Amino acid sequence: MLKITSYILTSLVVCSCSTIEKTSIRDQAKTSATEKSDVTLEYYQGAWDESIQLAIKTKTSTVAEQAAKRAMHQGNTNKAAAFYARAFELDKKNVEAGYQLAALHQKSGNVGQAEQLYRFLLKQSPRHLPSLEGIGLILLDQNNIKESRSFLVKTITIFQNQGPGAHRAHNYTPIKAFNGLGLLSDRISDYKQAHSYYRQGLKVDPNSITLMHNLAYSLYLSGDWKQAEPLLRKVLRIQPKYTRAIYNLALVNARARRFDRTIELLKQFMEPHEAINDAGYLAMMGGDNILAEKLFQQAIDQAPSYNETAWRNMDKLKQLKLNPKE
């Protein structure tokens, strides 16, 4: 039986970006650069090249941080990480440099180093929103539900207790924290609470595609597909090629028994016979065995090489007819 992969909620925990190159080798460049210095760049885990040697030679945290920002602007995350590491090494109270370095580690998959940095920063600045959110998202990705919830709840509580002026001054809104708490609630099927978190986030950022999509999918999971549909349509008006939203709108149409529309949507990113087969599977799961059989046969007729998958679904359908309680 073909198992349809349902496009689940977007976690936002890991985002697409340039990565810091990982290496455990420290070449001769490092040796020559540090022969007469105690510089270690212990928080840096990227490649070692000539530009990184410049970071070692930087004498003040401020200058190193400025160089890191320039590197980020140029898209050189490896160089930026080295300068942020140097800035933080020179001044452990430079929370912004430490946070930016932790965020780079997190984005590149060095979550252990990122978590270590976040915890260090929070000892100094317990109310630092970006660090609270960052570690909460790491723990969410690790399925550490209890501790993740604690950090993320603290994040939005501090944020909501600040005045509008404070929000503008810090120029930071923890949208990912609202989304993360929604994800946590969906994982335990507490859909009402999940909807609340997504909607709170949308009050802060009404144009967040991720929050809109995840609220819609959460509504679908809770059985309220009628409210989910207009939200998914809104998402697709803004981002027409958002595959997850297209798929979930197909699920909504299947729930509404609009299978022609379901197939049209699935065809946007599937071969026609695959879309028909998947629509048949959705019909079967919805109890419409007659339509399911018809669609499976169409898939077989359209693509003989695909008939093994469709025939497995047809066999499953026969089993369901013989044993309706399964």
pTM strictly above 0.75: yes
| The pLDDT of residue 207 | 94
Per-block average pLDDT, block size 10, for the chain (326 residues)? 43 41 42 45 66 83 95 92 93 96 94 95 96 98 96 97 65 95 97 98 97 98 96 97 97 96 96 93 90 90 75 73 57
Amino acid 27: pLDDT? 45
User: Is 103 part of any domain?
Assistant: yes
Helical packing angle, 129-141 and 175-187, nearest 10°: 30
CA–CA gap between residue 204 and residue 207 (Å, rounded): 9
**Closest alpha carbon to 137 in 147, 128, 127:** 147
pLDDT number for residue 168:
52
**Residue 49 included in any domain:** yes
pLDDT of residue 205: 96
88: containing domain:
43-125
> Which CATH number do you get for residue 109?
1.25.40.10
CB atoms closer than 10 angstroms to residue 57? 11
pLDDT at residue number 316: 75
Structural domain includes residue 303: no
pLDDT for the residue numbered 190: 97
Within a domain: 140: no
Is 67 among the domain residues? yes
> Do the domain assignments include residue 121?
yes
| Residue with tokens 């003040």, as numbered in its chain | 60
The runs of H, that is alpha helices, within the chain are 28-34, 50-57, 61-73, 77-90, 95-108, 111-124, 129-141, 145-161, 164-170, 175-187, 191-204, 209-221, 225-238, 243-255, 259-266, 272-285, 289-302, 307-322
Evaluate whether 67 touches 41 at the Cβ level (below 8 Å). Answer: no
Number of independent structural domains in the chain: 1
The pLDDT of residue 310 is 72
pLDDT of residue 49: 66
Residue 82 lies in a domain: yes
pLDDT, position 37: 44
Q: Is residue 237 part of a domain?
A: no
Locate 29 and state its tokens: 């460049």
